[in-house]
Amino acid sequence: MTATLSGEFGTVLREWRNRRRLSQIDLAIDAGTTQRHLSFLEQGRSAPGRDIVIRLADSLRLTLRQRNALLTAAGFAPAHPESPPNAPLLDTVRTALQHVLDGHLPYPAMVMDGFGELVAANSAFGLLTEGVAKSLLNAPINVLRVALHPEGMAARVVNLDDWRRHILHGLRERSPHPRIDALIEELEGYGMPSPGARPVESLGFAVPLHLHSSTGDVRLVATISTFVAALDVTLSELRLEAFLPADPATAAILADRHTMETDGGAADTERSQD
């Protein structure tokens, strides 16, 4: 390995250690090495072997994309493939996810990729895009942009500070990456959470999304599911975000909306057959 690669790896490793707020001794012990060796790696004085890079990635809790980047910085080939979003390999996954999304009705649910772009959604997703500017709903739809853009959901989110903080925190966890960093900068440009602001409301275990809608105010709790055992970068970054009602009033509103949409769809079908 060249000195340049050793230096690049050392810089990246030190940045990740600082980001995780770990001391050299803590990271060294967890990765099964010595503080002296870790110090030499960070200074570019020692060339890392592939095994220690993988152990360090485990200890730093890196995503598959971040692991590949760390391996590349050390001069090794990436360990995990990255399939294109439309790869046949993912067809079965997309079909299964759509079944899950439809099974979550009458509550909204969607799947986004690692950059916030919409992969699939159920019919209740319209609750979130109600009143959103058409320009934001042209494919590919970036769900995070829709959530915080002034012409997106932002005008209808009562507890916008909390929701903005939630979205930006999730993105920063997946940084650094040029696309993610650019998206963070864009979303921050729409406005930052007020310093030290307290949550507008809390359920004790989570801050709900409090949203105005044409059928009444709703309070939703978001749940995130991921493919934790995935070996493919694209698959590992898929995030299924399913919303649950935070109170009986919201549950009733969502059930009524679903009934109206279902009845309306059935009526349209009958008219087309006539």
CA distance 267 to 186: 42
pLDDT in tens, 213-253: 999 999 999 998 988 788 999 999 999 999 999 999 999 99
Instruction: Please spell the DSSP secondary structure of 43-99, one letter per residue.
Output: HTSSPPPHHHHHHHHHHTT--HHHHHHHHHHTT---SS----TT-GGGHHHHHHHHH
CA distance 68 to 76: 9
pLDDT at 177: 87
pLDDT at 128: 95
Per-residue pLDDT, averaged over 116-129, amounts to: 95
Q: What is the Cβ-side half-sphere exposure of residue 218, based on CA atoms within 13 angstroms?
A: 23
Across the chain, how many H-helices and E-strands are there? Answer: 12, 5
Q: What is the Cβ-side half-sphere exposure of residue 50, based on CA atoms within 13 angstroms?
A: 7
Q: Which amino acid is at 51?
A: D
**Least confident among 3-17, 128-142, 160-174, 244-258:** 3-17
**Least confident among 169-178, 197-206, 214-223:** 197-206
pLDDT at 2: 46
Residue 207 pLDDT level (bands cut at 50, 70, 90): confident
Please report the domains of the chain, with CATH numbers, ordered by start residue: 3-73 (1.10.260.40), 88-145+200-273 (3.30.450)
Residue 191 pLDDT level (bands cut at 50, 70, 90): confident
Long-range contacts of 140-143 (CB under 8 A, 24+ apart): 141/117, 142/115, 142/116, 142/117, 142/118, 142/183, 143/110, 143/112, 143/116, 143/117, 143/118
CA distance 261 to 31: 54
pLDDT in tens, 44-88: 999 999 999 999 999 999 999 999 999 999 999 999 999 988 888
Res 269 pLDDT > 50: no
Helix, strand, coil percentages (3-state) for the chain, rounded to 5, are 55, 10, 35
